[in-house]
Amino acid sequence: MAPSVRDLVDKYRLGFVDDPLPGHEQYQGMLAIPYLRWAPRIGWSVATMRFRCLLANCDHGGHRGGKYASMPEHPPRIYNTLALLDDTDDIGVTEGEFDAITASVSGIPTIGIPGADAWRKHFREPLLGYRHVYVFTDGDRAGNAFGELLIKELPNALIVPMPTGEDVSSLVLKHGKHALLERTRT
Ligand SMILES: [Zn+2]
């Protein structure tokens, strides 16, 4: 059975910024996406947060000009590192947090990179031990560039392109998770 939205909110601890603390007004009305970490003895912690605007017809001018906002001074980090703790031969990589959630829920543990230009050299290391790293690229120019970059970085990368104009979430929403899983079996 597919997990409910409630289950996903619980698992990934997604939140909504209703009443921001002083100094965080720019995140008002945005979805809050915590970068959860788990470690023995320490337990759960949050490495950083990203925020996504939920307003329809928003020009995003009121919150630093983007649909997504990061914490000031925070470098890009890997989203959903819990996928790295699963004992699997293969792993997925997406651009963006939601596509990582969608692919993980569809059955392929998947980490997210916060944007096609957010790749960092040290993200390579934890991916080298896998048989395949499925790189789910958006069906646009930035997606193609992201795929080309990861092919150079990772000897075990397999590009899994989404159809033109689609990303993992829109594909699964329209055609179901099997549409995504089939693309990894070529
Ligand atoms: Zn906005």
CA of 149 to the centre of ligand 1 (A): 29
CA of 41 to the centre of ligand 1 (A): 39
- Digit-by-digit pLDDT tens for the chain (186 residues) are 667 778 877 889 999 999 988 988 888 889 999 999 988 898 999 999 999 998 888 888 777 667 888 888 999 999 999 999 999 999 999 999 999 999 999 999 999 999 878 999 999 999 999 999 999 999 999 999 999 999 999 999 999 999 999 999 999 999 999 999 999 986
CA of 55 to the centre of ligand 1 (A): 6
CA of 50 to the centre of ligand 1 (A): 14
CA of 83 to the centre of ligand 1 (A): 29
CA of 100 to the centre of ligand 1 (A): 22
Contact 114, 70 (CB under 8 A): yes
Q: Where are the beta strands (DSSP E) in 129-185?
A: 132-137, 157-161
Comparing CA positions, the residue from 36, 48, 98, 44 lying closest to residue 73 is 48
CA of 70 to the centre of ligand 1 (A): 13
CA of 31 to the centre of ligand 1 (A): 11
Domains annotated for the chain, with CATH where assigned, are 5-70 (no CATH), 81-183 (3.40.1360.10)
Q: How far apart are CA 148 and CA 74, in angstroms?
A: 26
CA of 42 to the centre of ligand 1 (A): 35
